[in-house]
Amino acid sequence: MSLKRPIDYGLERLNGLMSDMVNLAGKALKKSIESVLTRVDNIEEVRKMSSQLLFMMDEVGELAVQLIARFQPVASDLREIKSAIQVSYDFSRIGRYAANISEIIKMIPEGGCDFTMVKKLSDIVLEMVEEAGRAYLNKDLKKAEEVRKRDDQVDDLYAENIKHLIQMGGKIDTACLLSTALILRYLERIADHTCYIADSLSYIITGRKQ
């Protein structure tokens, strides 16, 4: 077994932080979806998670700068540090969108809305967030590729659902229509961020952007 390099201790800390972000972002999204589907008010809880993710993103940035200053990393070390900064931003954005989704509960009318479309898309996106996180932490290029492929599915589903909502204009409650459209939009953006995470992983491993 070889000795650890001094930078390895810092990289381990960085990965620990990233792992916490992966878990928290997934949890925040799950809670926010649960919030709108079951109409249980989780706004404060998800908002706190979102703030924590933002705080962790700063921590990742701070640690990354320290590692660059102290160890002058190159090659895969440098790519990993650069990507951690980017990926931590992606997870903080996912947290922010989760907070936005949870806030939609305030728009939902007394009688509730039909969120079948939301449920279908959120199931896919939630899985993408978890898979992108796992792919990143385990440096699994194959899984990252799967995430990218699923984004095409999300884009198609999103376009199809929005088209359907436009056709339904005037036939369903406006608040429901708007809430559904907004949640779909947030989910579609979250899916984009999982793709950016997959791209960052490709960059770490191959040195090339996807």
Partner 1 sequence: MNWAIEVNNLNVWYGDKHVIKNVSFKVPKNIIFAVMGPSGCGKSTLLRAMNRLLELNPYARVEGQVKINGIDVYSDNVDITWVRRQFGMVFQIPNPFPHLSIYENVALGPKLNGLVKDRSELDELVKQALQQAYLWDEVKNDLKKPASMLSGGQQQRLCIARALALKPKIILMDEPTANLDPVASSKIEELMLELKEEYTIIIVTHNPQQAARISDYVAFLYMGELIEIGETSMVFTRPRNALTEKYVVGRMG
Identity of the residue, 2 or 167, whose beta carbon is nearer to partner 1 in the bound complex: 2
Identity of the residue, 8 or 41, whose beta carbon is nearer to partner 1 in the bound complex: 8
Find the shortest distance in angstroms from Cβ 102 to partner 1: 40
59, with CB counted inside 10 A (0-12, 13-18, 19+), is middle
Return d(Cα 76, Cα 72) in angstroms, integer: 12
* 171 near partner 1, judged by CB under 8 A: no
Residue from 142, 167, 171, 208 binding partner 1 (CB under 8 A): 208
Residue count, binding to partner 1 (CB under 8 A): 14
Find the shortest distance in angstroms from Cβ 14 to partner 1: 15
Stretch that binds partner 1, among 25-33, 51-59, 94-102, 201-209 (CB under 8 A): 201-209
- The set of residues, in sequence order, having a beta carbon less than 8 Å from that of 84 and lying 6+ positions away, is 14, 18, 60, 64
* DSSP alpha helix (H) spans, the chain: 6-38, 43-71, 75-103, 116-138, 141-168, 174-206
Binding mask 43-82 for partner 1 (x = CB under 8 A): -----------------------------xxxxxxxx---
Return d(Cα 176, Cα 115) in angstroms, integer: 9
Return d(Cα 118, Cα 122) in angstroms, integer: 6
Identity of the residue, 165 or 205, whose beta carbon is nearer to partner 1 in the bound complex: 205
The amino acid occupying position 105 is I
**Residue ranges that bind partner 1, judged by CB under 8 A:** 2, 5, 7, 72-79, 206-208
